A = this chain, B = another copy of it.
Amino acid sequence: MNRLKKYEFSADEIELADIAKALSHPARIKILKILSNKNVCMCGDIVELMPLAQATVSQHLKELKRVGLIQGEIEGPKVCYCLDNVKMEKAKESLMKMFKKVCC
């Protein structure tokens, strides 16, 4: 954003937009799907399933962590990522509330 105007909006609007932003790239949708297959959680395994370089996947993981949809836990030299189901539920509820208020 050019000159930060976000403070002109309500906290709800900003929060919801932020969640949507985290979901606004197919790579991040795919990562969430991969993590929901509880068999896979190691960062390296995720990278293998993605058509992107390791550094790029790491960036997407960081964005998902930023909004709290996933967590990363260090296991020796590896990192095990998992969904934060509480946060996911909250994100779903926020989106649903908006849709209900707005139309359906």
Q: Which residues of A contact B (CB under 8 A)?
A: 5-6, 8-10, 13-14, 16-18, 20-30, 32-33, 35-36, 51-52, 83, 85, 88-89, 91-92, 95-96, 98-99, 101-104
Contact = CB atoms under 8 A, between A and B. Distances in A.
Contacts of A28: 17
Contacts of A20: 20-24, 29
A30 B20 CA distance: 14
Given A20-B23, A23-B17, A29-B17, A9 B51 contact: yes
A65 to B, nearest CB: 16
A66 to B, nearest CB: 14
A13 B30 contact: yes
Contact of A26 (B14, B22, B36, B104): B14
A13 B29 contact: yes
A8 B56 CA distance: 14
